[in-house]
Structure 1
Amino acid sequence: MNDDTIALRADGLYKVFGRHADEAVIRLHQGTPRDQLGHGTTAAVIDASFEVRRGEIFVVMGLSGSGKSTLIRMLNGLHEATAGTVEIGGERITDIAPKRLREIRRQRVSMVFQHFALLPHRTVLDNVAYGLEIQGVAKAEREAKAREVTQIVGLAGWEDKLPGQLSGGMQQRVGLARALTADTDVLLMDEAFSALDPLIRREMQEQLLDLQATLGKTIIFITHDLNEAMFLGDRIAVMRDGRIVQVGTPEEILTDPANEYVEQFVQDVDRTRVLTAESVMRKPRAVVHPTAGARGALQVMRDEQLSAVYVTQRDRTLIGWVSDRDALDAVRRGERSLERIVRPDHGAVAHDTPLAELFIPALEAQLPLGVTDARGRLVGVVPRVTLLATLGGEPEADAQASPRPDPLPAAVVDRALEAAVDSGALETKEAI
């Protein structure tokens, strides 16, 4: 990966509090457990290395005491690293002059705190403009920028209010607007939504994604909430006892956990909100081209033990589907072409459709649910049994080896249906 695609790089970061910190780093590097460093010495971050790409939301997730909040404060120099380096935009910020570090904080990295950290005697507009003020931007220019961002985050009309006159959710919007107004390369968010009520928290998460789609910021987001991490993160770093134990996409973390700790951590995640059609699809086998004719379509149906097939162009562009009854009638009429009997209402879904939105289409489909890419090409199918197995937390049936997998145990199906109801995809289990 080229350096110009990397917004921030951490390499071998350690943070040890207490006596003999440098000696503790050597012992940790040699394999000494964190709890055997001795009284008065605490290793908060141990050998943390990762890269954050420009324009992504990189989530650092872990339980209390895992080291995530210490780590984020090392990324802007609030905590000095005991060992290791941090680079922002290719410039090293560890072991640099205090004056230059302050300049980097003002110009290249900003932070949104859990408890807002607003200036109580300044108006919303003045709080939002504060980052530009300490950069030395003229008043008219910084206020114009602040008004623009205030409107973007939904606070238009509240510019002259004081923070104490706002709800918690609105105060956090002010904190977010202040960070965005500073227009830095990297935005650090430390448990930014944890103090909010659940409904407001979800609203803020959705707004952050909307803003990210428009602004394309580089965001490092700290959270202890796994569902929040899965919802927001392009990639996630999981921390435990000061160490990063896995870095990956939400799907990779969920489907291929690095160890038993991560596996247990993700076992209660709502898979329907993380996994997509592409995550669970299988190679499409019941497919014919228009030139195959009615007899060719019937042959494929017989081989795959299905009552219908998909029809695609040679480049896999999905045209529609053909049923066994229509194909048989065409043969009896002496028709060779599939043109008259292809049904265009194939009901296929886009490859990035969440699992939660696949239930109804899967129930209505005459075939395993088709999955198409951005160009309308058939790239996979999702059999109902695969969908249920994924939601039930069971290993997926090998749809490649057998076009008609053995039925899942009733208990597995029941758990999967309950998951579908809980996620809102179905109103009741009886809907099937």
Structure 2
Amino acid sequence: MARFDPFSPTFDHPLLNSSPDYGSRNGSFVRPIGVGLGGGLDSQLSFRERNKRLRSLEDEKNQLIEDLLYQLENTQNQLDRLQLDNSRESQYSRDAQLRESALQEQLVQVKTIMDRNSYIAVLIDADVVVFTKELLSKGEKGGKEAANNIFTSVSAFAADHLHHLETPKIVVRIYANTKSLSETLTKLKIIERPAALDEFVRGLNSARLLFDFVDAGPRPYATKEKLSEQFKTNLYDCHCHQVLLGCSSDSHYATLLQETLKDCSVLDHITLLEDLPFEKEVAMLKENFKTTKFDNVFRTTKLGLLPTPSKGPLQAVTATLPALSRVESNTTNGTSSGPSTPGMTWATMTAQPAIAASKANTPGATTPTSMKSPEPVVSKAVTKGIDRNRHGQRIDKVDSSIPNHEIQRIKKLKLCNIYYLQDLKILAME
């Protein structure tokens, strides 16, 4: 193995070829200007390039630091805003929870007050929805019985449909033109005398504290108007949980129900009383409301529409009319074998009072024995069931339950009101 003397002037080590000459003991190491360790100007340029690169890297580093600082400041500002918003939302949430708790307590208190004074309103148009003959004929006792039956029926309805109410009050308002109703009931022989209806009303009003049978008066549509106002008042009363409406199929009530359909929030609070069958106008709206029936309280048919007798409607009508003979036509033939005295007809029957009066005023006319009375002659109704005035003219009375628009329509036709409005058919006389 060869040995090398590191202090020898001729020592040449491959790793120390560029190092200074440490063999020279007396002189210092001198490098020529312009000569690099790499050997020339190229190495010097590379240093500048490297320095330039380092400076650009330093600039990028500084820029990166600036960007990071800017981003940090923005993030810090956003954090501060979010913390402020969070604090505000937390405060609002706490306030909202407190308000909600207070409102819930207030709602429970109001609900308790409403349920404590809750009631069910029963509104009935008694001009059409009429009590049964059995109740009306009992007078005051029948009125009390009718009130108890209504109370029982409404209580059963509340138990089935209003479970949240323990003991709701039952307020009943019955409206009718009592004078006209009593006259109609007397004519139809449902009650013996008009005063029987007053006794019935007295018994109904005295049976329960919140039951009232009110006389709406003779003014047209008074019953419908009063009932409609009571309906609107009770429907939007917070204490009223249900309105039971017993009305006719008149267009007035159909319009009232049609207007109510616009407010869907109250439809569940309305129940229609269906003891009397609905006609077309109200029947079309029936599916939008609940319905119920009161057993053995109200009639199931309208007044005037009596059950068909066994001998037929035509015979029932003609049975009250007098027997009329056929009138022979006037002819010029002298050989006519017609009776010398004409038979009784409607014309002769209605003309008798006028003929008798004219004969009495004729000079020299002989007065029959039956007309020699010093008392004035008063014409009487020739037939039973036909009303006449003092001149002997027939008076056709119209049932108050018949709608006014139907009466006006028939009047324009110039027909007999009794014949057409009450669905009665009289045999045509030849």
Classify the TM-score, shorter chain: under 0.3
TM-score by length of 2: 0.21
Structure of greater Rg: 2
- Structure with bigger strand share is 1
Q: Which structure has greater helix proportion?
A: 2
**TM-score scaled by length of structure 1:** 0.21
